[in-house]
């Protein structure tokens, strides 16, 4: 989900936190924070805190070697030069092993203070992905306007304008289809359509996405994982 | 007509 936004990432491993990643794209506009709790894994063991510097394109090449149904075991030594990846099918009569070179990555780490949030929107992840993709064809900027009874996505481009308005509703049968708006104060913020399209690459990871918006501040887009999260912080655009 | 802001103007480097 994140390899088009960032190329090199440090994966921090610890027994208590599981795997955490913070990465910022080269333009310093999009920050990615990933947390995969230890409980997400069938087995997780980390005797000593470890930083694995990975080239995501290379990691992706290795991960594609396995079949979906296979078990994947990732292993690294105490002061590793390589990450080992072992795929095994259920009957353990096919085993494939790969080793991926690790890198020393010197990356910025930003401190994100707890933010006051003006509004929180939860909507189906596929719905947000469709809006982000469709609106990008109209404009390189997407404005999100939230009031207590609607969230409006608005694009103004060369060929014309477009908007999608969603109203809050609760779907009792399929809660993940609901649209929820929690509002402390109304917000209107504009974001780069390109970055929103990078963010929605996480769509398959979660049925819903939660968007937290605060006036004149970066937005938080959160995809909850079964045990952990993938968060994107996106700096807004301002009227020039 | 819009100017893209940077995360560095909101978050501190640690």
Chain A nearest-CA distance from B13, in A, is 5
Give the up-direction half-sphere exposure of residue A135: CA atoms within 13 A in the CB hemisphere: 29
Chain B nearest-CA distance from A15, in A, is 23
Identify the CA nearest to A178 among candidates A121, A123, A120.
A123
Q: What secondary structure letter does DSSP report for A92?
A: S
> Rounded distance, CA A34 to CA A19, Å?
8
Asked if A12 and A49 touch (Cβ cutoff 8 Å), the reply is: yes
Which one of B5, B12, B13 has the shortest CB-CB distance to A235?
Answer: B5
A30 neighbourhood in chain B, CB within 8 Å = 7
Asked if A21 and A73 touch (Cβ cutoff 8 Å), the reply is: no
Question: Could you tell me how many CB contacts below 8 A there are between chain A and chain B?
Answer: 57
B8 neighbourhood in chain A, CB within 8 Å = 28, 110
Stretch 1-14 of chain B: residues touching chain A, C-beta under 8 Å: 1-14
Which one of B3, B8, B12 has the shortest CB-CB distance to A240?
Answer: B3
ipTM score of the complex? 0.95
What's the pLDDT tens digit per position in A162-203?
A: 999 999 999 999 999 999 999 999 999 999 999 999 999 999
Q: Give a three-class secondary structure readout of A37-90.
A: CHHHCCCCCCCCCEEEEEEHHHHHHHHCCCCCCCEEEEECCCCCCEEEEEEECC
Chain A nearest-CA distance from B10, in A, is 7
Helix (H) or strand (E) holding A222: strand A219-225
Secondary structure percentages of chain A, helix, strand, coil, to 5 = 15, 45, 40
Residue B14 has pLDDT above 80, yes or no: no
Stretch 8-47 of chain A: residues touching chain B, C-beta under 8 Å: 24, 27-31
A-interface mutation test, from B4, B6, B9, B14, most A Cβ less than 10 A away? B4
Task: List A210's β-bridge partners, or say none.
Answer: A122, A222
Residue of A nearest to B2 (CA): A239
* pLDDT by 10-residue block (mean), chain A, 240 residues: 92 96 95 96 95 96 92 92 95 93 90 89 98 97 96 97 97 96 97 98 97 96 96 95
A192 neighbourhood in chain B, CB within 8 Å = 4
Q: Which residues contact A60 (CB under 8 A, 6 or more apart)?
A: A3
Helix (H) or strand (E) holding A217: none
3-state secondary structure of A125: helix
pLDDT at A61: 95
pLDDT at A240: 81
Residue at token pair 């506009």: A29
């Amino acid at each position: 989900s994140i390899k088009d936004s960032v190329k090199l990432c440090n994966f921090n491993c610890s027994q208590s936190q599981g795997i955490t990643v913070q990465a910022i794209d080269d333009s310093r506009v999009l920050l990615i924070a990933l947390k995969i709790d230890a409980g997400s894994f069938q087995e997780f063991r980390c005797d000593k805190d470890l930083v694995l510097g990975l080239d995501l394109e290379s990691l992706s090449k290795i991960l594609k070697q396995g079949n979906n149904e296979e078990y994947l075991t990732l292993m690294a030594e105490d002061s590793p030069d390589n990450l080992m990846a072992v795929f095994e099918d259920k009957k353990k009569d096919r085993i494939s092993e790969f080793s991926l070179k690790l890198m020393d990555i010197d990356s910025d780490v930003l401190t994100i203070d707890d933010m006051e949030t003006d509004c929180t929107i939860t909507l189906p992840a596929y719905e947000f992905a469709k809006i982000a993709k469709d609106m990008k064809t109209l404009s390189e900027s997407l404005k999100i306007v939230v009031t207590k009874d609607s969230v409006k996505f608005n694009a103004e481009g060369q060929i014309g304008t477009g908007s999608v308005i969603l109203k809050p509703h609760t779907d009792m049968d399929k809660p993940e289809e609901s649209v929820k708006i929690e509002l402390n104060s109304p917000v209107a913020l504009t974001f780069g359509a390109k970055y929103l399209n990078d963010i929605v690459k996480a769509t398959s990871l979660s049925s819903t996405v939660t968007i937290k918006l605060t006036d004149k501040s970066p937005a938080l887009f959160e995809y909850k994982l079964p045990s952990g999260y993938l968060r994107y912080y996106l700096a807004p655009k301002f009227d020039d | 007509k819009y100017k893209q802001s940077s995360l560095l103007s909101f978050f501190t480097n640690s």
